[in-house]
Amino acid sequence: MKGVFITIEGVEGCGKTTQLRHLSRHLAERGHPVETTREPGGTPIAEAVRVLLLDPAHTAMTPTTELLLYEAARAQHVSERIRPALEGGRVVLCDRFVDSTTAYQGGGRGMAWETLNELHAIATQGLWPHLTILLDVSVEEGLQRVQGGRPRDRIEEESLAFHERVRQAFLRIASQEPERVRVVEGHLPVESVRERVTTLVEEFLRSHEF
């Protein structure tokens, strides 16, 4: 595979989307072929699944249905968009990926991590991010940032305790895979976060001679 796959993760309101936008522009200005995408979503089928998943009216959705829909959207996204972009030598920047499932469905909903890992392997056909940036902010700060801006989705409606379990699960993933998952303090001002993210990504690309 010729390209580089970078994901960005964290609790809601951690600043992923803001940083992904900056990073994409920065890398493109330096001549890297960049492709930006997100999960759930990134292709027409996966975006349709996203609507199902986030609709606040779908209160009857079971945890297993939710999990399989996230993985179904991912299977489509990987084979239709991410893998071809990587094979074409692009830097793929993805807003959330498998770690979000481990954190939300594993940490938040309490589903077994071994089961999740087996499903990740099926959905991604073994494709794993080369680098993951985890923007760590407190749940209170993250939720405060997104409140008021737009209507809350089905997952945002969950309790503070749910979101705290999600944050702790992200930190656990980072401690298990410190080489791949790099933690950046997301509570800092946007510019400071941006500098740290850019430095980490540039170092990574240089060390991989990209």
Using the minimum distance from each CB to ligand Z5A, give the nearer residue, 74 or 90: 74
Q: Which residues of 105-140 are buried (b: 16+ CB within 10 A; e: fewer)?
A: bbbbbebeeeebeebbeebbeebebbbbbbbbbbbe
Q: Contacting ligand Z5A (CB under 6 A), which of 181, 193, 201, 205?
A: 193
Give the pair of three-digit tokens for residue 42: 């990134």
Radius of gyration, alpha carbons of the chain: 16
DSSP 135-166: EE--HHHHHHHHTTTS---TTTTS-HHHHHHH
Give the H or E element holding residue 193: helix 190-207
Q: Which of 134, 119, 114, 124 has its CA nearest to residue 181? A: 134
Q: Contacting ligand Z5A (CB under 6 A), which of 51, 160, 161, 190?
A: 190
CB of 207 to ligand Z5A, least distance (A): 26
Using the minimum distance from each CB to ligand Z5A, give the nearer residue, 12 or 136: 12
CB of 122 to ligand Z5A, least distance (A): 14
Stretch that binds ligand Z5A, among 29-37, 100-108, 118-126, 175-183 (CB under 6 A): 100-108
Q: Under the criterion CB under 6 A, does residue 95 sit at the interface with ligand Z5A? A: yes
Give the H or E element holding residue 206: helix 190-207
Binding to ligand Z5A in span 102-161, by CB under 6 A: 104-105, 145-146, 149, 153, 155-156
Binding to ligand Z5A in span 35-94, by CB under 6 A: 39-40, 70
Binding residues for ligand Z5A, total number by CB under 6 A? 26
Residues near ligand Z5A (CB under 6 A) are 10, 12-18, 39-40, 70, 95-96, 100-101, 104-105, 145-146, 149, 153, 155-156, 189-190, 193
